[in-house]
Amino acid sequence: MRDWLEDIFDQLSLAELLGRSQPGVGQRLGLIIVDNGVEYMLVAYIEVFKGLSGRRAPKGWEDIKRSFRKLLDCVATHEAKLAPLSDEIMRYHNFRNELYHTGTPKTTTTERVLHYRDLARTVLASLFNTQLTEEDWGTRLDSIRDRIVETTREQVKAGVTFSVRPDAVSFKTHATLTSAQAICLALDGFSKEFARDPSRDEIARCMSVSGQGLGYTSVSSRLAELRRQGLVAKGKLALTTKGRKRIRAKFIT
C-alpha cells in the first residue's frame, strides 16, 4: 500500500488512541491530529492522487495550500462527494484552531474526537475510494498501540465499551484478551450495570455475547485461578480491590 495512505491510517488510529485516553489533554491532541489528517488528505488528493503538482497544479496552489478554507473548496471542485461534508469539516477545523491557537481555555470530549474521526474516514472513502472495516481499523489501532509500547516500554491502556443485554453485559475491545482478562471484564461490567454479582451462568452468557467462547466448566476453572491470584473474592463472584486495580491498569472502562 502507498506510504502516504498508510500515514493517513496511522494518524487517524493515533487520534483515536489519544481520544480514548484518560488525561483530558489526550482528547485535545486527538482532535488536533484528526484535523491534521484531514488537511494531509486534501493536499495528497491534489498533489499525489490526482498528480496535479508543478506546472499541472491548480492556479495559485501555493497560496491555496496556506488556507484551509481555500484548500477545502479547491478539492471539493474536483470531488463532488466532498462538498456535502465541507461545512462540518470547517466547523471542526475552526474548533481545532481554538484549541490550538487561542489563549482561551477550552476542552473537548472523546465523543467529539471520535465523531471527527468518523468524518475523516468518510473523507478518506470519498477522496480515495478506500474504506476499511471496523476489524481492519481495530488491527491498525492495536498496531499503533504496540509500536508505542515497544518504543516507550510502557503499557498503553486499551479502551473497553460495555452494552447491557438481558441478564448479561457484553464488552468490546480491540485488545487481545486472555480468558482470565475477559472474565474480569465481565465481572466488572456486570457489577456496574446490574449493581450485583453475577452467577456463573450469567458470566458464561457475558462471555458468549462478547464473542469469548468459554463454557461453564472453563469459566469455573478460570475463576478458581483468579481466586488463587487474589483477583476474585473468595466465596463471591466479584473482583477484589487488587482485581479492580489490575483491570484499571490495562483497560479504559
Q: What is the pLDDT of residues 83-122, one digit of tens each?
A: 999 999 999 999 998 887 765 666 788 899 999 999 999 9
Decide: 83 and 76 in contact? Cβ < 8 Å: yes
Same domain, 132 and 170: no
Question: 213-223 pLDDT, tens per residue?
Answer: 777 788 888 88
Question: 156-168 pLDDT, tens per residue?
Answer: 677 788 888 888 8
- The residue from 126, 152, 178 where one domain ends is 152
Number of domains, the chain: 2
Give the Cβ contact number of residue 41 at 10 Å. 24
Give the per-residue pLDDT at 195.
87
If phi > 0 it is left, if psi is from -120 to 50 it is alpha, else beta; for residue 235 that is: left
**Dihedral (C-alpha) 236, 237, 241, 246: value to the nearest 10 degrees?**
150
| Sequence letter at residue 13 | S
The model carries a pTM of 0.62
**CATH of residue 194:** 1.10.10.10
Coil, helix or strand at residue 177: coil
Among the listed residues 221, 181, 180, 170, the one whose alpha carbon sits nearest the alpha carbon of residue 200: 221
Decide: 78 and 64 in contact? Cβ < 8 Å: no
CA–CA separation, 218 vs 179, rounded Å?
Answer: 9
- The residue from 130, 152, 174 where one domain ends is 152
CA–CA separation, 28 vs 107, rounded Å?
Answer: 7
Same domain, 126 and 188: no
Q: Residue 159's beta-bridge partner residues?
A: 252
- Domain containing 138 equals 3-152
Same domain, 167 and 90: no
Q: Residue 158's beta-bridge partner residues?
A: 251
Q: Are strands 161-165 and 168-172 parallel, antiparallel or unpaired?
A: antiparallel
Same domain, 104 and 195: no
Same domain, 145 and 187: no
Q: What does DSSP assign to residue 60?
A: T
Same domain, 233 and 188: yes
Query: Hey, what's the cell of 137?
Result: 481499523
Same domain, 49 and 113: yes
- The residue from 120, 152, 184 where one domain ends is 152
Same domain, 11 and 50: yes
Same domain, 64 and 27: yes
Give the per-residue pLDDT at 85.
96
Q: Residue 170's beta-bridge partner residues?
A: 163
Considering all CA atoms of the chain, what is the largest pairwise distance in Å, rounded to the nearest integer?
A: 77
- pLDDT above 80 (res 180): yes
